[in-house]
Amino acid sequence: MATIIIPTPLRKFTGNQSTFKVNEAGTISEAILSLTNQYTDLKKHVIDDQGKIRSFVRLYLGDEDVSALDQKADTRIKESDVISIVPAIAGGIY
């Protein structure tokens, strides 16, 4: 089973679980959907109104930025794969 790593600030939406095991084979998108279907409060922090990954969130497959992959979030995942949800961290003085 592939694993999704939940970022610390969003673990309150997964009952403090730091990881999520993906039960079915499929793509990165399907894995994220499986996660957000189980933890519905998490959904708005990861998925936008159009059903796409929010602009403030990056996905990593291992150490690879998913947006840089040929198939992007449609990339099929293996059992050994680890997907990380990475929130944008930014700010400024005004």
Partner 1 sequence: MSTHIKTSTLQLSASGLEVVRKDAVKAYPDECCGFLFGTETEGRKITLAVPVTNHKDGDKRRRFEIHPQDYLRAERLAAEIGLDLLGVYHSHPEHPALPSLTDLEMALPYFSYVIVSVKSGKVVDERSWKLNESLGLFEEEFIMQPIHLS
Least Å distance between CB 91 and partner 1?
4
Spatial strand order of the sheet with 19-22 comes to 19-22, 2-5, 82-87, 57-61, 64-65
Question: Given the complex with partner 1, which of 24 and 90 has the nearer CB atom?
Answer: 90
**Where along the sequence are the contacts to partner 1 (CB under 8 A)?**
5, 7-12, 18, 56, 58, 60, 63, 65, 84, 86-94
Q: Do residues 90 and 12 make contact, with C-beta atoms less than 8 angstroms apart? A: no
| Complex with partner 1: residue 33 or 86, whichever CB lies closer | 86
Closer Cβ to partner 1, 11 or 72, answer by number: 11
The DSSP letter of residue 22 is E
